[in-house]
Amino acid sequence: FWNDPGTSYVLTSDPYAYFRAWLDQKINTSAGDRKKRFIKAKYFAEQSESFQLAADDTRLPTKATLSYYALLNLTKSFLSINGVELEKKEESHGISLSENDDELSVSGSLRNCTNIFYEFSKHLGKPISGKHTVNITQIVSDIPEIHEIAFTLGIIAKRKYLPVKIDFLTNEGKDKLFTEIRFKKENDARLPI
């Protein structure tokens, strides 16, 4: 998101509740097709939240599937807000397993079908053309939240990210927000910091 320096931020312990409230506000102040888009976006957001709540209460491998559908529905909510017509024709996630166990196939535009990943990429300013394969190991090594787990399990051979702990703090007047980033000193030798 593109906030300018000094812009106020909103902190919430429940992002879905915040998103629902934002969508409700948009629904109540919109009309016509715009209102319908926000209503559909809220439907997908509620599905996303339900999948996430279910994922929080289960274990792998089911947790991964439920988390995937939570993100897929959150993506559909984003697309609805941005005017993409969903559920009007056949839909494809746009990502599938390839013939190799360690690769995913990513599709470009599909004829007579809404490709969710393609539309999402396009709206993020990174359109896809044609079909691509993506190495799962490469994906894992590029996601900071699971990078350390992948290293520990031997999926990737070399660390790329420094494991850090981030704390959010305020001043005594509670009108300024600060972050404190900590890491173990032993990591100085592992990575350039």
pLDDT per residue as tens digits for the range 24-47: 999 999 999 999 999 999 999 999
What's the pLDDT at 139? Answer: 80
Provide the mean pLDDT of the chain: 86
Spatial separation of the C-alpha atoms in residues 113 and 94, rounded to whole Å: 10
Q: Report d(CA 44, CA 72) in Å as an integer.
A: 9
| H-helix or E-strand spanning residue 52 | helix 32-56
Q: Which residue has the higher pLDDT, 139 or 192?
A: 139
**153 against 123, higher pLDDT:** 123
Q: What is the pLDDT of residue 4?
A: 66
The answer to whether residue 190 scores a pLDDT higher than 80 is no
Residue bearing the bigger pLDDT, 22 or 8: 22
Task: Report the distance separating Cα 32 and Cα 23, nearest Å.
Answer: 15
What sign does the dihedral 114-117-118-119 (CA atoms) show? positive
**pLDDT bucket at 185, cuts 50 / 70 / 90:** confident
Reported as a pLDDT band with limits 50, 70 and 90, residue 1 is very low
pLDDT score of 192 more than 80: no
Tell me how far apart the alpha carbons of residues 65 and 67 are, in angstroms, rounded to a whole number: 5
**pLDDT tens digits, 141-167:** 787 777 777 888 888 888 777 777 888
Q: Which residues pair with 91 in a beta bridge?
A: 114
Q: How far apart are CA 18 and CA 173, in angstroms?
A: 25
Burial zone of 48 (CB within 10 Å; 0-12 exposed, 13-18 middle, 19+ buried): buried
Q: Where are the alpha helices (DSSP H) in 57-172?
A: 62-81, 116-123, 136-142, 144-152
- Pairing verdict, β 132-135 and 114-115: unpaired
pLDDT at 122: 92
Residues 49-90: pLDDT tens digits?
999 999 999 987 888 899 999 999 999 999 999 999 998 889
Q: How many other CB atoms are there within 10 angstroms of residue 115's CB atom?
A: 21
Only one residue has tokens 């969903």, namely 86
